[in-house]
Amino acid sequence: MSLRLSTVILPYRRWHEGGRAAWERAEELGFHTAYTYDHLSWRSFRDGPWFGAVPTLTAAASVTSRMRLGTLVTSPNFRHPVPFAKELISLDDISGGRITLGVGAGGTGFDATALGQEPWTPRERADHFAEFVLLLDRLLTQDTVSFTGDHYAAHEARTIPGCVQRPRLPFAVAATGPRGMKLVARHGQAWVTTGDPTIFETGTPEESVAAIRRQIERLTDACTGIGRDVKELDKILLTGFTPDRNTPLTSVDAFVDFAGRHAELGFTELVVHMPIPDSDFDVDERVFERIATEAPAQLS
């Protein structure tokens, strides 16, 4: 299988002031999927414009026709599975079945306290995440769902007519630890990682590859534990968070070298951030577009 190339478009621009054009350009450049973050605000963008993921993806679905669309990633920090499932079904319908749900446990950033709650502990995040994914899976595959869990409940929730994609839209589950890997194995159609965050500041590219290899070993063990072949899962790397940061986006050759190392690990999709001036994702737009149009042929 050739290595697919996708992008992330952060929702910081008004739709009619560059937002729409970014999604249209992503499709023109031939990206497999264009994702957006599903946050209420994020890091250095907190005090600037930031728009909602679901309305943004709905608008993007209306101005594109080939490219897949998705979140990277949604978390339980501020969402409940019942209303969110209805939004996902609607979005999948509007897009003609082009939606992928990237989903993760969430972190301790601004989203974690935006609703007035105390931030969850790592264990609480993992507990919410497991129940969130389980209930979403049921809501997106069954017409009527009743469920009582420790954190979420549903009473005769109707999700008719269900997804265009059957049995439901695909889940791309972000995980690194044992509990998360079990969720990937049981519910995921894809696995997502950003690498090992503990070595982002001080590690080397070689150490990053070794750390990701260990993650894949844990994923393989989780799949084996339930009798699933890990090769059934797509493996997605969201770039920009490994020790080499944006170095792979400095030239086509640098990107192809980076992509080759990760293809050897078994990745099927690499995701690059669309350039944003004066941010962590400030890269040369001309080089970025050359990578989008020239690198895929060298990765097949």
DSSP 83: H
Q: Strand pairing partners for 34?
A: 7, 69
Q: What percent of the chain stands above pLDDT 70?
A: 100
The token pair that represents 69 in the structure block: 């669309």
**How many angstroms separate the CA atoms of 37 and 51, rounded?**
10
Contact 252, 295 (CB under 8 A): yes
Could you read off the pLDDT of 116-166 as tens digits, one per residue?
999 999 999 999 999 999 999 999 999 999 999 999 999 999 999 999 999
pLDDT higher than threshold 70 for residue 60? yes
What are the domain boundaries of the chain?
Answer: 4-299
Predicted TM-score (pTM) of this structure: 0.97
Could you read off the pLDDT of 197-219 as tens digits, one per residue?
999 999 999 999 999 999 999 99
Q: What percent of the chain stands above pLDDT 90?
A: 98
Q: Pick 2 or 237 by higher pLDDT.
A: 237
Contact 30, 293 (CB under 8 A): yes
pLDDT higher than threshold 70 for residue 10? yes
pLDDT higher than threshold 80 for residue 247? yes
Query: C-alpha 228: how far from its chain's center?
Result: 22
pLDDT higher than threshold 80 for residue 1? no
Cis ω before 73 (30° cut-off from 0): yes
Cis ω before 11 (30° cut-off from 0): no
Whole-number pLDDT of residue 300:
79
Could you read off the pLDDT of 154-202 as tens digits, one per residue?
999 999 999 999 999 999 999 999 999 999 999 999 999 999 999 999 9
- pLDDT-derived band at 226 (thresholds 50, 70, 90) equals very high
pLDDT higher than threshold 80 for residue 227? yes
> Architecture of domain 4-299 in CATH?
Alpha-Beta Barrel (3.20)
Alpha helices in the chain (DSSP H): 19-28, 53-63, 81-94, 122-139, 178-187, 205-225, 252-263, 285-299
Tokens 């790397």 belong to which residue?
Answer: 237
The token pair that represents 214 in the structure block: 């260990």
pLDDT higher than threshold 60 for residue 268? yes
What is the rounded average pLDDT of the residues 262-286?
Answer: 97
Q: Strand pairing partners for 4?
A: 269
Nearest CA to 273 out of 4, 8, 6 is that of 8
Whole-number pLDDT of residue 173:
98
Sequential DSSP letters for 140-209: TT-SEEEEE-SS-EEEEEE-TT--SSSS-PPEEEE--SHHHHHHHHHH-SEEEE---GGGTTT--HHHHH
